[in-house]
Amino acid sequence: MHHNIKKILYTAEDISARVRELGAMITRDYQGKTPVLVGILNGAVTFMNDLMRAIDLPLCHDLMALSSYGDQTVSSGTATILKDATLDIEGREVLIVEDIVDTGITLQRVLTHLGSRRPATLRVCALLDKPARRRMAIKPDYHGFTIPDVFVVGYGLDYAEAYRELPYIGILKVNG
Residues involved in catalysis? 102
Beta-bridge partner residues of 36: 60, 94
Amino acid at 90: E
Q: Which helix (H) or strand (E) holds 153?
A: strand 152-153
Q: Could you tell me which residues come within 8 angstroms of residue 7 by beta carbon, excluding any fewer than 6 positions away?
A: 170, 171
User: Nearest CA to 87 among 66, 109, 61, 65?
Assistant: 61
- Torsion sign, CA atoms 36, 67, 141, 169: positive
Classify residue 60 as exposed, middle or buried by CB count within 10 Å of its CB (0-12, 13-18, 19+).
middle
User: In the beta sheet, which residues pair with residue 41?
Assistant: 65
Q: Count other C-beta atoms under 10 Å from residue 73's C-beta.
A: 13
